């Protein structure tokens, strides 16, 4: 029998949970592991995605939604407390063990046992009645493979739509784009109602063939996870600075005139910027453009640059607040 060790993170912080997952993959070098976990409101973007391009920045900010980059590829997903995440970690001795099928199969089987018409679809989705309830992704490091996925149980569809709804006309880049699919919630598709905790308890055994053995990490290991969270997953450099080079164009009209900003961003910093519009400035805007080149594309950093210049001379009636609203629209 190949028993599976079962872990829970004990947290709903997405940065901590991704650090927990990475630590187990890289430090528990033998055995099979299953982790079940939840994140409070967050957008989790793929390793090779442009964070800004995947989110509705204004919506995310207004609702206090964290944006965290994961180690695995694939598209952006929204997590809340109506979503349950699962992680399999095991050896990847040969190519056959590196496909998604050995990992999606037990999930599909578990859903079918609840009377659901579940199926694996495409590269990495699980559907019920044609609706996406799970997206999966994988990461291989030193012979250990992580396969993780979402299970939309009773997530808020309005939050999903709002958080993952950027304006595609504002961006040009070669980053990996998310494919928006029609999503569904497992609870609404069940024949007999079930609470999320009962679903969680069911999956503990349904996802493994030979049962589970609950285990835990030591205090020393948990301290290392907190260190990894602080140094990696909580940092702007990891979550936004790793975004591929892209161009963005934003335009708004205010009482002081129209303002159009085109900028090129690489490694999270403004590489080039053009400021246009029919605002009634008294002096050229080139000093403002030059000052912003090399600036981190983050509101506090841009604001600090603006505070060093006489904006009314260059932008006329356009206020600092309105400039920030445009460049981070």
Work out the number of other CB atoms within 10 angstroms of the CB of residue 81.
15
The CA-CA-CA angle for residues 210, 97, 3, to 5°, reads: 20
Distance, in Å, from the CA atom of 192 to the CA atom of 194, rounded to the nearest integer, reads 7
Q: What is the largest CA-CA distance in the chain?
A: 79
Distance, in Å, from the CA atom of 276 to the CA atom of 202, rounded to the nearest integer, reads 58
Work out the number of other CB atoms within 10 angstroms of the CB of residue 12.
16
Name the CATH superfamily, with its identifier, for domain 4-241: Bira Bifunctional Protein; Domain 2 (3.30.930.10)
Domain ranges in the chain with CATH number 3.30.390.50? 246-327
pTM of the predicted structure, to 2 decimals: 0.80
Domain ranges in the chain with CATH number 3.30.930.10? 4-241
pLDDT digit of tens for each residue in the chain (329 aa)?
A: 478 999 999 999 999 999 999 999 999 999 999 999 999 999 999 887 888 888 888 899 999 999 999 999 888 999 999 999 999 999 987 545 567 888 999 999 999 999 999 999 877 789 999 899 998 999 888 889 999 999 999 999 899 989 987 655 555 665 656 655 688 999 999 999 999 999 999 999 899 888 899 999 999 999 999 999 999 999 998 998 877 788 888 899 999 888 999 999 988 899 999 998 888 888 889 999 999 999 999 999 999 999 999 999 899 999 999 999 999 87
**CATH class of segment(s) 246-327:** alpha beta
């Amino acid at each position: 029998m190949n028993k599976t060790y079962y872990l829970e993170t004990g947290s709903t912080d997405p940065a901590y949970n991704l650090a927990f997952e990475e630590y187990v993959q890289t430090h528990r070098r033998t055995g099979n592991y299953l982790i079940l976990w939840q994140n409070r409101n967050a957008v989790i973007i793929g390793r090779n995605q442009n964070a800004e391009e995947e989110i509705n920045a204004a919506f995310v900010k207004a609702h206090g939604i964290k944006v965290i980059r994961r180690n695995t590829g694939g598209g952006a997903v929204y997590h809340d407390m109506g979503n349950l995440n699962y992680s399999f970690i095991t050896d990847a001795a040969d190519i056959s063990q590196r496909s998604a099928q050995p990992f999606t199969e037990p999930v599909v089987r578990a859903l079918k046992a609840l009377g659901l018409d579940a199926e694996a679809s495409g590269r990495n989705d699980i559907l019920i009645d044609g609706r996406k309830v799970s997206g999966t992704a994988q990461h291989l490091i030193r012979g250990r493979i992580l396969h993780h996925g979402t299970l939309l149980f009773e997530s808020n569809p309005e939050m999903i739509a709002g958080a993952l709804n950027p304006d595609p006309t504002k961006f040009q880049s070669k980053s990996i784009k998310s494919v928006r699919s029609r999503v569904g919630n497992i609870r609404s598709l069940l024949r007999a109602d079930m609470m999320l905790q009962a679903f969680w308890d069911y999956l503990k055994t349904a996802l493994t063939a030979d049962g589970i053995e609950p285990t835990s990490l030591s205090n020393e290991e948990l301290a290392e996870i907190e260190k990894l969270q602080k140094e990696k997953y909580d940092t702007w450099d990891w979550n936004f600075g790793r975004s591929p080079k892209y161009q963005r164009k934003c335009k708004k009209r205010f009482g002081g005139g129209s303002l159009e900003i085109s900028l090129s961003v690489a490694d999270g910093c403004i590489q080039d910027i053009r400021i246009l519009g029919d605002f009634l400035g008294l002096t050229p805007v080139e000093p403002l453009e030059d000052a912003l080149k090399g600036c981190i594309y983050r509101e506090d950093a841009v604001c600090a640059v603006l505070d060093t210049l006489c904006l009314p001379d260059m932008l006329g009636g356009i206020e600092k607040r309105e400039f920030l609203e445009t460049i981070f629209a």
